[in-house]
Amino acid sequence: MIKKKGMAMTICMMMLLTSCDDGRLYENQMIHPEEGRIVKLTGNISGIDEWTNGYSVVVAGFTNESEYAIISKSVTTDNDGQTEVVLSGINDEVERVELCVTNRLRKRILTFQAVGLNAPDTIRMEVGTINLGVYASIQEQLFNTTCTSCHGASTFAGAGLYLTEEKSYDALVGEPSQLINGMLLVNPGDAGTSVLYQTIATDISSTWKQDHSNMVMSTAMHDIVRTWINNIAND
Ligand code: HEC
Averaged confidence pLDDT in the chain: 86
pLDDT-derived band at 19 (thresholds 50, 70, 90) equals very low
Read off the pLDDT of each residue in 172-183 and give the average, rounded to a whole number: 97
User: What pLDDT score does 34 carry?
Assistant: 52
Atom of ligand 1 nearest to the CA of 207: 18
Q: Report the alpha-carbon distance of residue 99 to residue 115 in Å, rounded.
A: 9
Q: What is the pLDDT of residues 88-120, one digit of tens each?
A: 989 889 999 999 999 999 999 999 999 988 766
Does the pLDDT value for residue 167 go beyond 70?
yes
% of the chain exceeding 90 in pLDDT: 74
Q: If you measure from the C-alpha of residue 21 to the centroid of ligand 1, how many angstroms do you get, rounded to a whole number?
A: 52
User: Does residue 5 carry a pLDDT above 80?
Assistant: no
Q: pLDDT value at position 179?
A: 97
Distance CA 227, CA 171 (A): 19
pLDDT digits (tens, 9 = 90+) for 190-227: 999 999 999 999 999 999 999 999 999 999 999 999 99
Residue nearest to atom 7 of ligand 1 (CA): 150
Give, for ligand 1, the residue of 141, 143, 161 to mutate: max count of ligand atoms closer than 8 Å to Cβ. Answer: 161
235 contacts: CB under 8 Å, gap ≥ 6: 1, 2, 3
Longest dimension (CA), the chain: 75
H helix or E strand, kind and range, residue 153? none
Q: Is the CB of 153 under 6 A from ligand 1?
A: no
Q: Ligand 1 centroid vs 193 CA: distance in angstroms?
A: 17
User: Within 13 A of 53's CA, how many CA atoms are on the CB side?
Assistant: 13
Strand-pair category, 122-131 with 37-46: parallel
Is 200's C-beta closer than 6 angstroms to any atom of ligand 1?
Answer: yes
The percentage of the chain sitting over the pLDDT mark of 70, rounded to a whole number, equals: 84
Nearest CA to ligand 1 atom 2: 150
Q: Give, using CA atoms, the residue closest to atom 39 of ligand 1.
A: 147
